Structure 1
């Protein structure tokens, strides 16, 4: 196991706290990435429990769609090859006042090499009707909205 894989899970929460204190607003991206069988990609992080839609933080000066492409490649080994459709912009004030998440749908993609050592414990594909135990509440809400079985919300 590399030094990054051993150190990053311990350091990441400290860095996230610093970023939140040093920035008035934070912005993240997530995606509902589906395959031809209608399954959705979910990731399990090393530093937080549960299954989540892949994504992450937008770096200062980075366009949102570029952040989406970077994060999907890093976390899920997904290279976006077609349009990424904007689904919504959500406030995530329950986690941090000033945090926002931009959600996209990605249908056109291919597998690419990834280096998620230390950050991602698992990547898997699940049918929306058979999601794994521990799927995050926000992920469940977004997938229900996407399927049209729940009313849209502005809160992540």
Structure 2
């Protein structure tokens, strides 16, 4: 009889996610905590659990960037065919805020003034009888109105970066409801 190594991987991933979450929680005061469940195939479960085991996060870190009080930056992700917040994977030895800044520069060609954590999304990952979870940190930032956007994504996943008025965020935006919920909490800050 062979032991299913996914159980061990899921357990190690869960431990790393808890560590990452507690670091985020102790370093930031106010943020929202959405929860999403992803039911995935066995190979995808292995991929995501391996990422979580390495970094605590299945989908990397992201940034919600505001310009003025009423515009949010989104990028078009070719792989998921949706508008998303700029962000991505965490490199070895990289801290979450560093990864967020690097990804923002790659995917939109800008820098921004970071103000802390906007969201710590819990992503529950399930496959057959296996489950684990990871955290997806989403930082908040602001930038000037005159910055020019340019995409230089080394992974060729992002094809466009664009500002959207908060009332006109497209329906095909990943986690749109979370974004609008967050904006409702911070409008005018």
TM-score scaled by structure 1? 0.70
Unmatched segments (≥5 aa) in structure 1: 1-15, 150-156
Asked if structure 2 preserves the Cα contact closer than 8 Å seen for 1:20 and 1:26, the reply is: no
Structure 1 position 93, deviation (Å): 1.6
Deviates more, 1:26-35 or 1:69-78: 26-35
Taking structure 1 as reference, are residues 111 and 64 closer, same or farther at Cα in structure 2, changes over 3 Å only?
farther
Structure 1 position 86, deviation (Å): 1.4
**Residue 56 of structure 1 pairs with residue 56 of structure 2:** no
Instruction: Measure the CA separation in 2 of the matches of 1:98 and 1:59.
Output: 19
**Residue 100 of structure 1 pairs with residue 138 of structure 2:** no
Structure 1 position 106, deviation (Å): 0.5
Structure 1 position 70, deviation (Å): 0.3
Deviations 1:57-112 (A, max 9, x none): 222310111001001011122212x2332123221125883321111110136547
Which one of 129, 153, 169 corresponds to residue 131 of structure 1?
169
Normalized per residue, the structure richer in helix is 2
Deviations 1:103-139 (A, max 9, x none): 1110136547641262112211111111123112x23
Instruction: Measure the CA separation in 2 of the matches of 1:126 and 1:113.
Output: 16
Instruction: Measure the CA separation in 2 of the matches of 1:21 and 1:37.
Output: 37
Unmatched segments (≥5 aa) in structure 2: 1-43
**Residue 146 of structure 1 pairs with residue 183 of structure 2:** yes
Structure 1 position 35, deviation (Å): 1.0
- Calculate the aligned-residue CA RMSD, in Å: 2.7
Higher Rg of the two aligned structures = 2
Number of residue pairs aligned between Structure 1 and Structure 2: 132
Instruction: Measure the CA separation in 2 of the matches of 1:32 and 1:101.
Output: 13
TM-score scaled by structure 2? 0.59
